[in-house]
Amino acid sequence: MDKISRRSFLKKAAIGSAGIASAGILGSCNPQVATEAPAQTGATAAPGAACTPSFLIPPDPIPDSKISETVTADVVIVGCGLAGLSAARSAAEAGATVAVIEKAKTYQYRSGQFGTYNSSVHKAHGMDFDATAAVGALMKEMGYRPDQRVWNLWRDHSGEAFDWYLKPAVDKGLLDYIDCFATTYDKTRITLVSLHYPYPEQFDSSKEFSPVYPEATLSFMPDQGAILDMSYQICVEKGVDFHFSTWAKQLIRPNKEGRVQGVIAQDIDDKYIKFIAKKGVIMAAGDYGSNPEMVQYYCGGRTYFGFFPNVDAKGNVTNVGEGQQMGIWVGAKIDDGPHAPMTHTLGAALGCDPFLLINTNGDRFCNEDVAGQQLSSQLFRQKDNFGWYIFDDKYPEQLAYMPVGHGSVNYVVDESVNPHLENIMSIGKSGITSREEVDSQCTKANTLEELLAAIELTPEAQQRALATIARYNELCDKGIDEDFNKTPSRLFPIKTPPFYASKVSAGAMLVCIGGLKIDPVSMKVVDENMVPIDGLYAAGNNMGGRIIQDYPVTVPGVSHGTALTFGYLAGKAAAAAPSA
């Protein structure tokens, strides 16, 4: 099964030249000539779509004469990733009959980092934090565009959902917990590891420019495959009817009126199957990051270099936005833009720790003391979408004063005591590295002039970089960043040789998040008038209202945390609905 971690993905994706791609002419619209977006799209008002883009044009209804088979269930779920499989298990455990449509050969997942609040594991290990403050920080990081009621549901139910997810492992006595200093784990068991916890004594999230709540985050070692399979086996035991290698094509809601009655799908032999949903349909078909027309339309006229490993039964990427499109075609409201590409960088040899950062012109261009997504946003605005961290030989002792931000590395130890825990970096947990490893990932020189020449800055850029470093040292000596307002305790002069340069690139896009808006009370998808549509629910990246404008790294792993939580809640809600 295709799966990949964030860190290993970034290493494999060659993102040094990632950046913003030109989409050219996509679908039926040239985004450079449009003046306004058509109604009922949630589109941004950026350049785009004087005409209606192809994905907003509903196809002709598939007639009954083409239907080869009819399947009836209480709940029909489109998509079998984390959200869809969680919805299936939740609905089945609530007594509903369930059918699942998935175009891959089996269920889908990637990595295993979860941001939740107040689970039994959190409470057992003192991993407490102010969840209401975290929700406030999430809202601020996304420009206060999401529906805070959705985030309050995450706050109030994610611990419950995570406990439920873990229950089959707990019941079998297979669950382990290790902290971020562990040197090994039992690969035959379900192992959770804390992320950046316990963190350095001087770290206080409430005082951060970019607040981060690492106490929320637990990661499965090496990923969530084993625990997700336990959910799948429960579904099988409860009679969930899985239709793999099957593509959902249209929701059934004639004339955009009344309840959603079901789904029409097509199997790998091109036969059409009608799925009748007596209680409801749950859309959990993922994001649309591999649909450049949708990305450009909803993200301000830009597309991004992306890397998405999951494929369907025909070998095509799975995240092309059919779930969003099918909802729009029957009258559902999609999130107002701008939507949120997940393009966070995981940094360089020392993660995102905020050393001096310069661009290829030799200039400092931002407050380095921000989280990975915000840093990536700045890197996208530099030539070739990358920069260079510059630091000196005192970096190991300086790490104690660094933040616990997304992608940070906190500890440098002697190679002889480096635990080299498998996937220690790929799961994004607190980094334990060594001077030898840092040396292997950096450019190193005895003088700044040699260093800047070695990273191939032009002669003019080298002179500008020397002036930038001199100015930065001056600010460090003053103890105040008059240029970009970096936290004073993280101002370290660059004076002690040898000197280091570590390349940091803007992140490639993992997903592009924007979905169907839900009513947080009923969990149903709403129409353009904000009226809930009977029989239609959404979860995971098909669900709107949670991540808008920019992907937040305030709570690492919150994408998985919300996919789990709202899959669990949507399954319960659909199972409790009256039958048609």
pLDDT tens digits for 14-62?
333 333 332 322 334 543 333 333 444 555 544 444 578 999 999 999 9
Q: pLDDT digit string (tens) for 331-371?
A: 999 999 899 999 988 789 898 899 999 999 999 999 999 98
Window from 275-284, 294-303, 388-397 with minimum mean pLDDT: 294-303
pLDDT: is 77 or 424 the higher one?
A: 77
Report the pLDDT value the prediction gives residue 139, as an integer from 0 to 100.
Answer: 96
Kindly tell me the burial class for residue 314, based on how many C-beta atoms sit within 10 Å of its own C-beta (0-12, 13-18, 19 or more). exposed
Report the pLDDT value the prediction gives residue 95, as an integer from 0 to 100.
Answer: 98
Phi and psi (nearest 5°) for 517?
-70, 135
Report the pLDDT value the prediction gives residue 463, as an integer from 0 to 100.
Answer: 98
What SS3 class is residue 470? helix
State the chain's mean pLDDT as an integer: 88
Q: pLDDT digit string (tens) for 84-103?
A: 999 999 999 999 999 999 99
Q: pLDDT digit string (tens) for 535-572?
A: 999 999 999 999 999 999 999 899 999 999 999 999 99
Q: What is the pTM of this model?
A: 0.90
Q: Of all residues in the chain, what percent carry a pLDDT higher than 90?
A: 73
Pairwise CA distance, residues 135 & 155, whole Å: 8
Q: Sorting pLDDT into bands at 50, 70 and 90, what band is 534?
A: very high
Window from 16-20, 316-320, 503-507 with minimum mean pLDDT: 16-20
Q: Sorting pLDDT into bands at 50, 70 and 90, what band is 389?
A: very high
Q: pLDDT digit string (tens) for 127-157?
A: 999 999 999 999 999 999 999 999 999 999 9
**CA geometry: angle at 323 spanning 322 and 328, to 5°?**
95
Q: Sorting pLDDT into bands at 50, 70 and 90, what band is 180?
A: confident
Q: Sorting pLDDT into bands at 50, 70 and 90, what band is 259?
A: very high
Query: What order of strands is seen across the sheet that includes strand 175-178?
Result: 113-115, 217-221, 190-194, 175-178
Report the pLDDT value the prediction gives residue 330, as an integer from 0 to 100.
Answer: 98
Query: What order of strands is seen across the sheet that includes strand 443-445?
Result: 356-358, 386-392, 499-505, 443-445
Report the pLDDT value the prediction gives residue 143, as an integer from 0 to 100.
Answer: 93
Q: pLDDT digit string (tens) for 200-256?
A: 777 887 788 888 888 999 999 889 999 999 999 999 999 999 999 999 999 999 999
Residue 6 predicted with pLDDT over 60:
no
Strand pairing report for 175-178 and 356-358: unpaired
- Which domains occur in the chain, in start order? 1-59+66-178+226-343+507-580 (3.50.50.60), 356-505 (3.90.700.10)
